[in-house]
Amino acid sequence: MRYRANALLISGESRWPVEVIDISYNGVLAATLQQLPLHTRDEVTLHLPTDSGETIRLQGSLAHRNGQYLGLQCKATNIDFRSRLRELIEQRQPLQ
């Protein structure tokens, strides 16, 4: 589902701001203006703030990258985050 939100991408001790462009139950497409020192299969955590002020934490790895775009294969880290992610996806209307 097309989705726009600012988020924080974490790998090890490093943190970078990213923009989420697309989200699903299994992954995220994000964009960054920075050249990040990440490689395919590097482990990452994405902190995705919601409109209600909560943060959903998704954990996974870098599946692919194409220029400024990062494909993350990830899942919500606990049942509460999975429930909130499902609500977020169901409530959001796709961008026109």
Judge whether 28 lies within some domain. Answer: yes
Judge whether 21 lies within some domain. Answer: yes
Judge whether 88 lies within some domain. Answer: no
* pTM (predicted TM-score): 0.85
**Token representation of residue 86:** 């499902």
Total domains, the chain: 1
* CATH number of the domain that residue 63 is part of: 2.40.10.220
Judge whether 47 lies within some domain. Answer: yes
Query: Residue 96 pLDDT > 50, yes or no?
Result: no
Judge whether 87 lies within some domain. Answer: no
pLDDT in tens, 32-70: 999 999 999 999 999 999 888 889 999 999 999 999 999
Judge whether 17 lies within some domain. Answer: yes
12: containing domain: 2-79
Mean pLDDT score across all residues of the chain: 89
